[in-house]
Structure formats: structure tokens, C-alpha cells
Amino acid sequence: MSRHPAIRPGHSAVVTGAASGIGLAAAKAFAGAGMNVWLADLPGKALDAARAEVSGLAAVDVRAVPTDVSDRHAIEALAAAVMRSGPPALVMLNAGIEAGGKLFSDAETWERIIGTNLWGVVNGIRAFAPAMAESGQPGAVIVTGSKQGITTPPGNAPYNVSKAGVKAVTEALAHELRTREGCRTSAHLLIPGFVYTGLAKARGVAEKPAGAWTSEETIAFMLERMEAGDFYILCPDNETTRAQDEKRMEWAMGDIIANRPALSRWHPDYAEAFKRHQEG
């Protein structure tokens, strides 16, 4: 099977948010490809269990490092430990939370969501990407975004803001890396569809809905699109096609171009127009 050149036996991969869901599935895939894997997540039984699970897959070195990604010093300490053996070939900045935030949630909720979702990515990029770029070796930085960071549906403003920021900073990283002479590190924005993860379980969804992909399906699609060279890895799922996503995103940008009301997709005066747009 052909893979992105960063995914090489004997080289290192770092995954944040690695104790469950998409992060754990990614760590398992990288270990299965022969990579040594660093698992970063909050301390606890989930991280310990993830290390045991990934370690049992292949004869590779698997290390679990308790890390709060919102803490710049914690990310720098993780990077320092990893880079004692040189820059990693791959870093996946995946840690994220929802935390049920609303527009007028308290400041602590906003700070917790922005801290993990956005600062966790900024901290990770600053800690790892320069050395990876300067190494001249094949590398990849993967950042987990969200469709909500593009279409920004009402009801979860802190999460939407954090993921919109993630999209912007990962785009900036991609431009920076491709304009550096001799740099062979690429950037990729993973945009999952409906995925059954620990976040869904925490909301009381006991079984995987028929419309959802598994974390493993999401990572398989990600690896396929990385090998093809995609920056925007826009994932479908079992209920939403890429064409449907494209039309929703096109409509969101159309609000600016057509000077429609903000979030007109959910405005009653535009319900029929949006329906026709999706069906067209």
C-alpha cells in the first residue's frame, strides 16, 4: 500500500488527543505502519489503556506522555522529549473538546474550549513544525478541524470559533511550509464527518448511529487522501456526501458575496432558497 512519505517504519509520530476516538485510531494506524508513537493526552486510565492497546499491535516503541495541550510549557516539554532523538516525521494535533459552550457561556468555558482546540494547535505547531521543516526530511503535520469551523452553525459558538481558528492557522502553516526552501514537510487539515467517538458517548449515544463513520474509517480515508496530496481532507460519512458538504460550504460563503443575513441557512426567510440550492 502506498503511503505519504512521512509514514515510514522506524520513524516517530506524535498524536495529541490520543487516548480515544480519532486520535487513538490514528496512533494505531501509525504503529501498524511500523512507526514509533508518542501518545499525548490528559493523564488518567484512558491514556494508560491507549498505550497498552497500541503497544500490543506491533514491535514498536510506544510512549504515553500526560499533556495538557492548552499549556504551552507542557507542549514544549513534550517536544523536547520527542526531539532528543531528532524531529518526528509526523505530528497529528488532534486534541479537542466541545464542553457544551454557548455564545453567552461563562468566560471559563470559552477559555477551556479555545485553550484546548485552538491554542493546543498553535502550541503544537510552534513546538514541532520549525524543526521538522528544517530537517529536510519527509514530514507531515496533520490538524483535526471541523465542518463547524467552516459553516459555523448556531448553538455552539465557542467550538465554532476555535475550529474556524484552527482552519486559518493550518492554512497559514501550509503556506509557510511550501514556501520554505528545502522543506519536505506538508500540512493537512482533517475535516471529519459524523464520527462516533468518545464525545458522542459522553452525550449519551450508547451505540454507533447508522449515519456515522467509525474513527478507523476516518483515519483510513485520511491516509488515502494524504497519499494523494490533499490539504483539505473533507470526509463524508454514511449520511452526508461530499457534494452535500460542498453545497453547504458554498452557501455559507455566499452569505458574504450575496450580502445575505449572517447564518442565512438557518434564517426562516431563506429556508426555501437554501433547499433549492441543495437540490440544484
pLDDT digits 0-9 by tens, 137-152: 999 999 999 999 999 9
Q: Is residue 170 part of a domain?
A: yes
Residue 1 has pLDDT above 60, yes or no: no
Q: Are residues 83 and 208 in the same domain?
A: yes
- The answer to the question of residue 7 being in a domain is no
Query: In a 3-state reduction of DSSP, which class is residue 139?
Result: strand
Shared domain for 213 and 277, answered yes or no, is no
Find all residues with CB under 8 Å of 271, minimum gap 6, and list them.
Answer: none
- pLDDT, the chain, mean: 96
Residue 206 reports pLDDT greater than 90: no
221 shares its domain with 169: yes
pLDDT in tens, 89-126: 999 999 999 878 899 999 999 999 999 999 999 999 99
Grid cell listed for 79: 517536544
pTM over 0.85? The answer is: yes
Instruction: Check residue 100 and give its pLDDT.
Output: 85
Considering the domain architecture, whether residues 252 and 194 belong to the same structural domain is answered as: no
* Upper half-sphere CA count for residue 256 (Cβ side, 13 Å): 5
**Is pLDDT at 205 greater than 80 in this prediction?**
no
Least confident range from 12-21, 27-36, 168-177, 197-206: namely: 197-206
Catalytic residue numbers, as ranges: 159
* Residue 233 grid coordinates: 481532507
Report the percentage of the chain scoring pLDDT > 70. 97
Same domain, 132 and 261: no
Q: Could you tell me if 149 and 167 are in contact, meaning their C-beta atoms sit under 8 angstroms apart?
A: yes
One domain, residues 225 and 246:
no
Give a yes or no: residue 23 inside a domain: yes
pLDDT for res 221: 97
Does residue 111 lie within any of the structural domains? Answer: yes
- pLDDT average, residue stretch 189-208: 83
Answer whether 88's CB lies under 8 Å from 30's CB.
no
Residue 140 lies in a domain: yes
Number of domains in the chain: 2
4 found inside a domain: no
Separation CA 278–CA 280 (nearest Å): 6
Residue 258 belongs to what domain range? 241-280
